[in-house]
A and B are shown apart, each in its own frame.
Chain A
């Protein structure tokens, strides 16, 4: 059974960089046919797609993040990571890592989710 687990600081200071890692177990991040992505959910609000990456390259981001997001893969550790720069209070959210079926660019539907991790941006 595939499992995804987010890890990283739960508190980040405003203007600094948020860094999260997702460890994949029960399957390989190099499996064909899947993107690996990040989704976030501010407290009490809806879901927002941040971006997705394919293990061999090909990265796609939500343009609303104005180039602040970077996603990269470490195949040797079966992990992928998110960096979000210049954070503000608006970036406070539960961050989920996920696997997306690669039918279309950036992924088509999400079949596996991590449990989510709350990141709070402090002023």
Chain B
């Protein structure tokens, strides 16, 4: 089971919206609504931002939203802020023997 595919980097100006894609297969993203997204600032542990494709945990800004179409899930950050600059990882349940797989990670830069 290979990692889910994410773009290496995405950038945007403050106030803009950006989207990060997460591409898998029919064994994971394409079949199961168990995609989650994590934000990781340098030197810190990841933080859950989205679970079950679209759900936000309590305390996470509504500027973060998730969606899915076919084998690709997406995280959208609207009204981009300087504090959103971080690495973002998706993950999914997979029916392969790996069970739990992360994406390759995306570095978000706020210009």
A63 on interface, CB distance cutoff 8 Å? yes
Smallest beta-carbon distance A36→chain B, Å: 13
Q: How many residues of A contact B (CB 8 A)?
A: 26
B102 touches A109 (CB 8 A): no
User: How many B residues have CB within 8 A of the partner chain?
Assistant: 24
- CB neighbours of B38 from chain A (8 A): 47, 110
Which residues of chain A come closer than 8 Å to B34, judged between CB atoms? Answer: 103-104, 108-109
Least CB distance, B97 to chain A, in whole angstroms: 5
Partner of B36, one of A46, A60, A63, A108: A108
Interchain CB contact under 8 A, B51 and A109:
yes
Contact B51 A101 (CB under 8 A): yes
Q: Given A109-B48, A110-B36, A116-B45, A52 and B100 touching (CB < 8 A)?
A: yes
Interface residues in chain B, defined as those with a beta carbon under 8 Å from any beta carbon in chain A: 3, 32, 34, 36, 38, 45-48, 51-52, 57, 89, 91, 93, 97-105
**Inter-chain contact B52/A109, CB cutoff 8 Å:** yes
Task: State whether B91 touches A105 (Cβ < 8 A).
Answer: no
In the complex, what residue of chain A is closest to B106 when comparing beta carbons? A46
- B99 contact from A46, A48, A105, A116, Cβ within 8 A: A105
Offer 27 A-B interface pairs, CB within 8 angstroms, sorted by A: A46-B105, A47-B91, A47-B105, A48-B102, A49-B101, A52-B99, A52-B100, A60-B100, A100-B100, A104-B32, A104-B34, A104-B99, A105-B93, A106-B93, A106-B99, A107-B100, A108-B34, A108-B100, A109-B34, A109-B52, A109-B91, A110-B38, A110-B48, A111-B48, A113-B45, A114-B45, A116-B45
Nearest Cβ in chain B — how far from A60, in angstroms?
A: 5
Q: With an 8 A cutoff between CB atoms, is A15 at the interface?
A: no
Do residues B100 and A106 form an inter-chain contact, with CB atoms below 8 A? yes
Please give me the 5 A-B residue pairs with the lowest Cβ-Cβ distance, nearest first: A106-B99, A109-B36, A113-B45, A109-B51, A46-B105
**A96 lies within 8 A of chain B by Cβ:** yes
CB distance from B44 to the nearest CB of A (A): 8
* A115 within 8 Å of B (CB atoms): yes
Query: How distant is the Cα of A63 from the Cα of B45 in the complex, in angstroms?
Result: 24
